[in-house]
Structure 1
Amino acid sequence: MDRQDGYGGIAILVQENMPYSTMDINRQGLAQNTQVQGILLHSPNVAIINIYNPPDTRVTTASWRRLVNSLPKPVIITGDFNGHHPMWGCASSNLNGRTIVETLEDTRLIVLNDGTPTRLTPPNQNPSAVDLTLSSSDIASRTSWRVIKDSGMSDHFPILTYLNHDQPQQEPTTTKRRLFKKANWNQFHDKINEQLTDAIDSDYQSLFRIIEDAAEDTIPYAKNRINNRNPQPWWDEDCTQAVTERRNAIKRYTLDPTMNNYLHAKKTIAASRKTLRRKRKESFRKFCSSLNRNSSTSMIWQTIRRFTKNQATKPPTDLPSPSMAPLILDLLTPIDIEPDFTLEQEGTPEAPFRHNEYLAVLQHKKESAPGMDQVSYSMLAKLPIRASVMMVDIYNKYLQGHSIPSQWKNVLVYPFLKQEKNPELPQSYRPIALASCPGKVLESMIKNRVEWHIESEKLLPPLQFGFRRGKGCNDCIAYITSYIQLGYSRNEHTIATFLDIHAAYDNVDIYILYQKMESMGISSQLRNLIFQFLNNRNMYIKDRKGTIHGPKTTNKGLAQGSPLSPTLFNIYTADIGTNILRGVQLIQYADDLVLLSNGKSIPLLIQNMNSSLQELKEWLAEHKLTISPAKSSAILFKKKNSATNYAPILYNETPIPWKKQVKYLGVMLSHTLNWTDHVELINQKALKGINVMRAVCGIRWGADPSTLLMLYKGIVRPHLDYGTQFIKPCPKQTLAKLDKTQYQALRVITGCMRSTPTNVLLAECAEPSLEVRRNLLATKFILNIRSTENHPLAKILRALKPYCDRKEGYWRSRDTPYPIQAMNRTDAFPSLYCSQLPPCYEYELSHQLTPIPHINLNSTKADFLNNLDFSQMCEERYRNETWIYTDGSLERKQRKVGFGVYIPSIDYKFSSRLQKETQICTAEIIAINHAICVCLEKNITKAIIWVDSKSAIERISSTEIQASRDFISLRTKRLLLEAGENGTKITLGWIPGHFNIKGNQTADTLAKIGRDLNVPVDIKVDKKDILAIIREQIRDEWNGQWSTLLQNKGAAYRCLVTNFPKKPWFSTMPFKNRRHLTTIIRMRTGHCLTYKHLNRIGILDTPNCECGQVGDLTHIILECPINEIPGIDIYVELSKAGNPTPMSIYTILRNLNVQSTNILINFLNYNNVNL
């Protein structure tokens, strides 16, 4: 089809042997110069549409909807739309782009573009992606899309869209990979036990051979697949068993076709179908719950395609070519000249590693690909006790100076091409390193000790936020934004220089690092062991054909993927800001540096910045690091948007470019700090997540709402949340964009109509507004700040707060920032526990890594029904211990909390009241703490503390090192362990609550007495407990706002829901069919395809039903004579299902149960009513 202006046209070329037919296109409303053509393929049955829309030609919403709705489905639409939108990689949006995005929900189309530019643009122009590919949602999971970066004689790149029709052929793989899911772990355990003898010394190679031999016999390798079907991600042994039984039953019937065999076969087929559906659903839900904002969109698409049985033809891998792999290996293995260097052998000896340390590290290791030795974390976790004790003995030999195994220094690198990078350049690849898991376990044990030492001794600078417990990206972003806002409040400008250290980890000098560790007081044994891991590492690299290149040895830099590397880099750069000019702040997150300075004179600020950069340059040169000026940037933050030519900021005589915006730790900062760019960025990412959600559901097919809600919380909401607790002041219309995206996602989840009120949408999904979430996130962040004394951000916020509270000057007409609002909210809690360090660094590391074993009587609670049974069961077994009962009590309405302790043998009874903010689990732990103190005071040497709170015991026993650990559980754990070390054996016992156990009932009564006492004991309250109180306050405030909104929007919904729900009603409903749930949801919202509603939104001319009455929900279901099931009275059936009389559609929908839902759906299906 030629264009009228003579500049080409559009065409669809079809292979000779592929059957197809041409199509007539509905062009109504399209511009004359917009070209459209289409064909209908017969096998596969899919429509292909080609479109060219010239620049400056508007495609109206109505004409686009009309065109798409007239096309047969499924359909793939492709072409040059000249429509711009960030959703498919454009820098901005235009009317055509917004039209397409706004109608995606109605037209049920999926954008296949992944953000890659589709047009060759000059370097001074933004990347362009005007060539779009859209597909029907039901075939999107069978497609694969990519751009070929060779435009030929055009300025548009070719686009390849694959549609899976036949089962794809798999390329053979030669890599041996163990199938740990099919491992026989009991046999693995026993074989190693058999091989271990007293004669075997604590030698790693001997133990490694035993593990390797046991694995060969008990852990199978994955078979090479050539032209075989891909295994489903949800398939397991139960599925295999179900299919085997089904095949055997069918075979049995075929050989002996009796009625019994037929019925058995039918029953087995049904059971097999049920098992496979259940496994697939459970696995998909598990997959959805594992997603977060860092999950790769491509990985999600790939997994969805596997779940939907649609593995599109695999595009070429991102691994390098065989010729490129050696060049990348050379880049990764720089050689440093080894100085005259001797390892230190003197100094205070390091305490040997303990078995508890080893188990604690393994417990919190997630399974990942093993190194070249093929020993995985799961294999280490399944070792028998004798073998794991031997492993710790081996580790201690290396601590004493023995050489670590050579295989621990072998690292296999998979270099993956970075997005939109040139595959012909070695630096375009991101290395993913696979190292030995036994070695990484030892590194993690070293890391725990080193990190605890440098943090507890306060050896790192306060503005170093990267890879430190209790600190993170939010601290950096909050510090920078608050610093800028404080400058605005004082009528000052702020200069921020964002610096990129070139290949920071790869260029660390390990000899300088060794000296820095020595200066920080890290023992010589740990230093020497760390040096062994870093020196003379052997690097291998894998190319796209599976060939492994190497080894090449390097003695420079930190190891990629090592648990130790981030901590070592923090040590290496701990004094980086020592000589920075006073008045200039240096904020560090790993290798991202920011220099900040504010003042009234711009020339003076630039001068100070240049002086600081000169000092920084000298420090970097001494440490063999350098800044890349081209990748760095400087921004001048001013209240007024006035363009000025500023003097250059120089690094090594090279100017750092001035910019109006910069992306820092995933947040877009613009020179006016108005947050428009950041909202656009996160909104674009959220829309891609919604695109994924659409691929697994329609209004009446696909995943159930509960699963989609998990998917929303994993890949959409985190983007909408990221950094938004710091974006006030922000224009309301900018924040409204995020709200609009949230509502769009909730409509995908629920299948609701576009006319559904947004406050009703939120309630049906039990999702509060984003404003509520921003307040909650800010509060959680501020509680972390206020629970640490002398946090560097606290000083900035305290200086900023008076300006915001007075509403003068800059803040006269601007909203108060969320962190300041959170400070005002947390001011009401003077009982907040505050310490100089996070509690995990206040208490000994050895105590934190020691588990607390406990007696679990809940597992045998069916064996006893009363106090007599409990006494008979336990008295014989624990007759030599003193029995102690503890309990906590909470009265929610008046917020009264207490605890009680009861010791029957000495008739000891104690009650106490706690601070009103204390949560019930914390009260239980305080009761245990008091009981331990009583044992020590009264010289009770053997005791059992019976507790009915599992969570309290788990919090005390936890071996995870976290900044969020509460101080009271750590204090109680230390007290318990120290008591044992001093000869007082105290055991915790978990008993069932409310089982008429006399001692437990007495402790419960004492706790209730305690909560009613007048004066609470003076124990500070942990930030988690206060956050729970504030969360309830924010929820109550939101409930009030939501109820007010309900007066005007969705008034009929008030008949169903009066308070904002804590969880969606459909979360408790068994899922059979998405259409069932979405139909009920639409009925509850009042916005469904009834005659009355269709008339109200202008689709029908009359609100009346075919019978002549007004066709609302009540009429259609309960009154219309046309709709009925012969011989069944729907009133009677609904009454049997538990619906009270007098009955109305509102009473039915308000008190939904499974029976009522089934009755309504069956009624609608029988009468062919589509709501």
Structure 2
Amino acid sequence: HHAQRQTVTNGRFGPIMTAIYVSKHIAATQIDTSHLNTPSNEYVTVQCRLGHNTKDTIITNAYWLPKHPNANLGWLAKHSAEYKSHPVLIAGDFNSHSTSWGYKRTTSNGRKLAQAMEVHQYTLLNDTTLPTRTGNSVEHDSSPDLTWYNGPVPATWDNLQETLGSDHCILQTSLTYPQTRRKSSQGGLRTKMTKWDKLRTELEELPTPSSYQEWVDILHSTYRKHTKHIINTPDQEHVDSHLLSLWDKRHRMIQRWKKNKTNRPLKKAIQAITEEAQEYACTLTTENWLQTFDQLNGQLHTSRVWQILRSLVGQAKPRHTLTKLLMHAGADPESLARDIQKLVYPHKPTLSPLPDHPPESPDSLSTGINSPFSMNEIQAALHNLKRNITPGMDGITYTTLRNLPEHFLEPLLDQINQAWETGILPHEWKTDLIIPIPKPGKPPNQINNLRPISLTSCVGKLMERMALNRLQWHLETTDSLAYTMTGFQSHVSTQDAMLRIYEDIYQNASTTQLRTIASVDIHKAFDSVAHHTILDNLLDTAPGSRMYNYVKAFLTDRTVQIQVNDFISPDHTLTAGVPQGAILSPTLFNLALKNLPGKLHEIPHLQHNIYADDITVWCCTGSPADQEATVQAGLDTIHTHIAQLGLTCSPTKTEYIVVSNATGQKADDYRALIQLHINGTLIPRRRTIRVLGFLLQQDGKADEWLSLITKQINEIHHMLTRVSRRNRGLKYHEMRKTVEALVYTRVMYNQPYVTLTTTQIRKLETALRKCTRLTLGVPRFAPNHLLPLTGIFNTLDERITMHRHAQHERLGTSRQGRRILDHQHYDTSQLPSIPPNSPPWDSLPRLHVLPLPRNMCPEAHSSRREDRVKRLTKQGEPPDTDLYFTEASYYPDRCRTAVTNDTYSHTTLHEGVPSPTAAETLAIAEAIIINTHHHDRILIRTDSQGACRQFRDNTLPPHVHALIQQHLTTHPHLNVTIQWIPGHQGMGGNLRAHALSRAEGNPGPPTLWPESYDPREHRKQLHKARTAILKELRMTVSTLPHPPPHFTREESAILRRAQTHTLMTPHHKHYIQGLPGRPYCPHCGSHPSNIHMIWDCPHANPLISATLHQLPPDLHPNSWESWITPPKDHQHLLLPLLIQHVHNALGEEW
């Protein structure tokens, strides 16, 4: 639930006495009443949208201090006039006596209140025969809580006669709104459930549609047929019988006490049973909460878990954004949509006609980048598109497209190729439904704080992805974009831009040399960029006529419809901008800025980085006057250039800092020598600016970032304490993954590029240790020196060292990355040359990879793997098809590939193969090029998903691709299908291939892998090596074994507490409770340390013998240390017995 609370300026009136909580499914906005609050009166008012097609309801909660004669009612007249046509409810604790509501006398405040409410036609809803406050032995029952109402909607009032331990009763007021629409007869939310297997089966049996429109109609009808709308009825809440019994008993006691309020023992009994019920209710609530997270163990791969965790951290998706904006502005959806359209998509006059592509020869129109799209390209694009994307107005989702059989993809491919060849796109592919969403960190009370997101057709996006693959290949091959443009480029990121800034400005601290960095903000860049510039710059790269005409058609005559709740505006034609949310848009925007880096490079000593619409320029040499002239020249160049694109810089949002490691007023005066402006308007100089998510300070320090990250770590730590306790909630291994994902990713995004002092590092490590202790399940007093011995997380030094090394290695695998390294004076001359990527259209013909199933981990999803093997075995060998099984055994110096079926077996020895995936790919290629196929169709089954992806995504090693291409060319009737199967699950052919690949014997001289550099394979190896090194570093210092995966949260916590000597023995209890004197063992009087209570104490000896009696004597540990750190072979025997012994020795208070 969302709390609406009225704050008091500077807290001068003491604690807040009023609050309104609004259920999260109700749209509500708070009305400012701070000017009404006085030391004796406090008000909070919310505006709620409770009914459809009705005025919003205004609810005010009031509190008047008792026995204060000066009640403030001057606001009521204005309040009533402003909301005259609205239902208005005013309720609260007025503490005013009047005979009109059951008091024996009328006070001044009571008379004023009754008169004012009568003048403004408010009705008192209270039943004056039912007091709202329970008196005591010296006070009568009374009614200080009043509810007044004025409005057309019927209202009813009820006193629930329940106080929940207070002296005020719970009052319920119900407003009955007309039901203008009903989602269902049963109510509740509706969820769609589609039976995809039945949809695929039906589509496979249907003939191929003859036209695109027929394809769309069949798809819609089949989808509706196999999709059900399920009503999610609220879960029936479990009523605890014990709590119900306590409450019933309490209710009977209260009824007895009301008849004799002088019965003090009964009053004390009521208080006691109320406290007992409250404590039990809290325990029950905690149990239900932890039970929820017990069920999430093993589900970290699902989005639901992360949605819950983000919500607990405070990152839940905002609700009712547009409704709240409508309520705040007092507007209707149509006018709000019109205002958003004027603000975001203002009409701009059309410039000269867009240029045409020069004519091309007929031969070039069917080859190269102009060639028609292939089935392999559409399948690769489908597999690489994001999942769970909201569809456009046609309602066709990516999931639907992924579930289409191949013969149903053919009409879609024909339509895409028709659009590609003619340069004419269907209208529905160019119609965007605009959904305004709030910008991160900004309140949704102004349309300036909204960001328009385009929902376009998923079919159109599919073609965008296919065209983008070709366009990116073309731009990379022709080196059309500068290396300083790091936005939406392959294998570079924001951290690479920050690497340059850090090494140029922050790495070498100086108190004399100033360094200036400016961040330029472009006003509504994506929505305003001129189409003419994009196409001119695209034409300069010679992309081919079909690519050019497609982009031209994509940009021109686009229409948008803005949706505000249920209202959808008419079509509005765009004359500028690229749609936010479209796949092509970031690359097209990069094209618009293509010529800017060259102009900035001409300015001596100026450095820059362009990440989409975020432009950063800096200078780190020269005097203040020289730096000012250099950076100002860069700003002038940016302003002039983007003005030609139809864009403008925002002087108020553009900002800069002047970095100097000196401190004091003299340093500030020195920084003030540099002043910058844009188009004659001074831009502000800040102490801290944010660039691409990084906080940059003018003093070269990292105080702001450290304060922010420690606050975030503490918030996440607090959230994790809610989802995992020492004995319940998320388990050990799930907690480790969660901390890595939520904490260390945030830290490692910034920390490699800031300079921390020793004190700051200790502060950061202290915050991280809190998460480490929580993950381990140990208390706060667990010794610091024992935490690294658990090997659960790498140290910050290890992470930073590996991050910097991995970043340099990654940059060395791409041309753009190497240019960045060259610019930063790193030697790249010894790196192998990068071969050109194969073009996307150069895919293997007549080769199809069946969809890869998800969630097939051998450990976590063994039942799913067994079920898949059973189904494939039951299907048997397809008719008129040769079935082959492939396998590869890989060793660093050699590998052996195997191909087999019922009548054929062959093995080959290879040397120099770079990875197991490459070996599996070779095995599949050898199965394809066999010359003894009996049929024109072959089915190859492999247990390597990586090899399947290489074939599917057309990322094969060049020589393997050429080998298969040549064979398919000489065998034009051969059709190849590749299918993934679970390995080592009992499928006969897979077992034979596995045994054959590991068989002894000499299959002949080895085949050498060509000595060509494969950057894709290199990046995979670097990632694996980095993961292995980090794991090895953890294991090197780890002397305490990890809890087995099957251990519960409680068992893992007991083990970790035993290893860190933090079991709750009398020693710890003594000092936690602050008892006087020294602690002692209750059994023998010795010091009650962990080792003594569990191992050394004579009382523990019979418990140890009873626990270990089932083990052979040679396996018995000879010391406590040997029990908490047993050999790896004996851990599965000794660790469970250790848990049992701790329970026997310490009970449940371990």
1:972 aligned partner:
960
Distance 1:969 1:175, change over 3 A: farther
Give secondary structure in 1 for the equivalent of 2:490: coil
Distance (whole Å) between structure 1 residues aligned to residue 782 and residue 535 of structure 2: 64
Residues 585 and 595 of structure 1 are in contact (CA less than 8 Å); yes or no, is this contact kept in structure 2?
yes
Give secondary structure in 2 for the equivalent of 1:738: helix
Deviation at 1:499, TM superposition (A): 0.5
1:589 aligns with 2:611: yes
Distance 1:524 1:1020, change over 3 A: closer
Distance (whole Å) between structure 2 residues aligned to residue 197 and residue 289 of structure 1: 36
1:601 aligns with 2:623: yes
Deviation at 1:1112, TM superposition (A): 3.9
1:70 aligned partner:
none
Distance (whole Å) between structure 1 residues aligned to residue 805 and residue 1146 of structure 2: 52
Residues 679 and 735 of structure 1 are in contact (CA less than 8 Å); yes or no, is this contact kept in structure 2?
no
2:948 aligned partner:
954
Deviation at 1:998, TM superposition (A): 7.8
Unaligned runs of 5+ in 1: 16-163, 233-275, 306-311, 802-822, 891-896, 1044-1053, 1058-1063
Deviation at 1:688, TM superposition (A): 2.5
1:888 aligned partner:
890
Superposed, which structure 2 residues align to 1:505-524 within 5 Å?
505-524=526-545
Residues 433 and 560 of structure 1 are in contact (CA less than 8 Å); yes or no, is this contact kept in structure 2?
yes
Distance 1:413 1:318, change over 3 A: farther
1:778 aligned partner:
804
Query: Of the candidates 698, 712, 731, which is equivalent to residue 704 of structure 1?
Result: 731
Residue-by-residue CA offset, 1:587-626 (whole Å, 9 max, x unaligned)? 1000000122232222112112222322322211211111
Partner amino acid, structure 2, of 1:213 = S
Partner amino acid, structure 2, of 1:1065 = P
1:329 aligns with 2:341: yes
Distance 1:981 1:766, change over 3 A: farther
Distance (whole Å) between structure 1 residues aligned to residue 851 and residue 353 of structure 2: 54
Residues 746 and 765 of structure 1 are in contact (CA less than 8 Å); yes or no, is this contact kept in structure 2?
no
User: Looking at CA atoms only, which structure, 1 or 2, has the larger radius of gyration?
Assistant: 2
1:1069 aligned partner:
1046
Superposed, which structure 2 residues align to 1:291-330 within 5 Å?
299-300=311-312, 320-321=326-327, 322=332, 323-330=335-342
2:199 aligned partner:
188
Residue-by-residue CA offset, 1:814-864 (whole Å, 9 max, x unaligned)? xxxxxxxxx9xxx9xx7x655176xxx4554543999664999x999999x
Residues 944 and 989 of structure 1 are in contact (CA less than 8 Å); yes or no, is this contact kept in structure 2?
no
1:835 aligns with 2:834: yes
Give secondary structure in 2 for the equivalent of 1:596: strand
Distance 1:582 1:855, change over 3 A: closer
Residues 357 and 850 of structure 1 are in contact (CA less than 8 Å); yes or no, is this contact kept in structure 2?
no
Distance 1:491 1:280, change over 3 A: closer
Deviation at 1:758, TM superposition (A): 3.3
Give secondary structure in 2 for the equivalent of 1:599: coil
Residue-by-residue CA offset, 1:313-356 (whole Å, 9 max, x unaligned)? 99996665535343113222222223442673743422222222
Give secondary structure in 1 for the equivalent of 2:587: helix
Distance 1:1009 1:779, change over 3 A: farther
Identity of aligned residues (%): 18
Distance 1:1039 1:751, change over 3 A: closer
Residues 502 and 627 of structure 1 are in contact (CA less than 8 Å); yes or no, is this contact kept in structure 2?
yes
2:1108 aligned partner:
1134
Residues 510 and 534 of structure 1 are in contact (CA less than 8 Å); yes or no, is this contact kept in structure 2?
yes
Distance 1:326 1:777, change over 3 A: same
Give secondary structure in 2 for the equivalent of 1:414: strand
Superposed, which structure 2 residues align to 1:1022-1171 within 5 Å?
1022-1029=1018-1025, 1032-1033=1028-1029, 1036=1032, 1042=1037, 1054=1039, 1056-1057=1040-1041, 1064-1066=1042-1044, 1068-1071=1045-1048, 1074-1094=1049-1069, 1101-1110=1077-1086, 1111-1113=1088-1090, 1115-1117=1092-1094, 1131-1136=1105-1110, 1140-1142=1115-1117, 1144-1151=1119-1126, 1152-1153=1131-1132, 1157=1136, 1160-1161=1139-1140, 1164=1143, 1168-1171=1147-1150
Give secondary structure in 2 for the equivalent of 1:668: strand
Distance (whole Å) between structure 1 residues aligned to residue 228 and residue 877 of structure 2: 45
Distance 1:625 1:402, change over 3 A: closer
Query: Of the candidates 896, 912, 917, which is equivalent to residue 914 of structure 1?
Result: 912
Residues 910 and 1006 of structure 1 are in contact (CA less than 8 Å); yes or no, is this contact kept in structure 2?
no
Residues 886 and 920 of structure 2 are in contact (CA less than 8 Å); yes or no, is this contact kept in structure 1?
no
Distance (whole Å) between structure 1 residues aligned to residue 710 and residue 200 of structure 2: 50
Residues 418 and 429 of structure 1 are in contact (CA less than 8 Å); yes or no, is this contact kept in structure 2?
yes
Query: Of the candidates 480, 490, 514, which is equivalent to residue 459 of structure 1?
Result: 480
Distance (whole Å) between structure 1 residues aligned to residue 516 and residue 200 of structure 2: 61
Deviation at 1:1065, TM superposition (A): 2.1
Distance 1:627 1:676, change over 3 A: same
Distance 1:1001 1:448, change over 3 A: same
Distance 1:861 1:624, change over 3 A: closer
Residue-by-residue CA offset, 1:889-928 (whole Å, 9 max, x unaligned)? 24xxxxxx2224679999998656539xx55445555677
Query: Of the candidates 561, 573, 576, which is equivalent to residue 581 of structure 2?
Result: 561
1:215 aligned partner:
223
1:229 aligns with 2:234: yes
Deviation at 1:501, TM superposition (A): 0.9
Residue-by-residue CA offset, 1:263-297 (whole Å, 9 max, x unaligned)? xxxxxxxxxxxxx999975656535765999x897
Deviation at 1:947, TM superposition (A): 9.5
Distance (whole Å) between structure 1 residues aligned to residue 575 and residue 1025 of structure 2: 53
Distance 1:1122 1:289, change over 3 A: farther
TM-score (norm 2): 0.66
1:351 aligns with 2:364: no
Give secondary structure in 2 for the equivalent of 1:603: helix
Deviation at 1:572, TM superposition (A): 1.1
Distance (whole Å) between structure 1 residues aligned to residue 308 and residue 556 of structure 2: 34
Residue-by-residue CA offset, 1:428-469 (whole Å, 9 max, x unaligned)? 112233222222222222222212211222111111000111
Residues 882 and 934 of structure 2 are in contact (CA less than 8 Å); yes or no, is this contact kept in structure 1?
no
Residues 885 and 945 of structure 1 are in contact (CA less than 8 Å); yes or no, is this contact kept in structure 2?
no
Deviation at 1:560, TM superposition (A): 1.8
Partner amino acid, structure 1, of 2:299 = K
Residue-by-residue CA offset, 1:1039-1095 (whole Å, 9 max, x unaligned)? 55x37xxxxxxxxxx5x45xxxxxx424x1243xx4443233212221121134556
Distance (whole Å) between structure 2 residues aligned to residue 902 and residue 700 of structure 1: 50
1:637 aligns with 2:671: no
Residue-by-residue CA offset, 1:1085-1119 (whole Å, 9 max, x unaligned)? 21121134556889564443211244344554567
Residues 300 and 734 of structure 2 are in contact (CA less than 8 Å); yes or no, is this contact kept in structure 1?
no
Distance 1:520 1:1078, change over 3 A: same
Query: Of the candidates 290, 296, 299, which is equivalent to residue 286 of structure 1?
Result: 299
Residues 941 and 983 of structure 1 are in contact (CA less than 8 Å); yes or no, is this contact kept in structure 2?
no
Partner amino acid, structure 1, of 2:371 = A
Kindly tell me the number of residue pairs found equivalent between the two proteins: 884
Query: Of the candidates 766, 771, 775, which is equivalent to residue 740 of structure 1?
Result: 766
Distance (whole Å) between structure 1 residues aligned to residue 176 and residue 1062 of structure 2: 48
Give secondary structure in 1 for the equivalent of 2:391: coil
Distance 1:517 1:1083, change over 3 A: same
1:547 aligned partner:
567
Residues 475 and 481 of structure 2 are in contact (CA less than 8 Å); yes or no, is this contact kept in structure 1?
yes
Distance 1:997 1:1032, change over 3 A: closer
- State the Cα RMSD in Å: 5.2
Distance (whole Å) between structure 1 residues aligned to residue 543 and residue 765 of structure 2: 51
Unaligned runs of 5+ in 2: 1-7, 21-169, 238-288, 853-857
TM-score (norm 1): 0.65
Residue-by-residue CA offset, 1:947-992 (whole Å, 9 max, x unaligned)? 98625523532428xxxx7xx7465345434432343968879896
Give secondary structure in 2 for the equivalent of 1:899: strand
Residues 772 and 1038 of structure 1 are in contact (CA less than 8 Å); yes or no, is this contact kept in structure 2?
no
Residues 854 and 990 of structure 1 are in contact (CA less than 8 Å); yes or no, is this contact kept in structure 2?
yes
Distance (whole Å) between structure 2 residues aligned to residue 861 and residue 650 of structure 1: 64
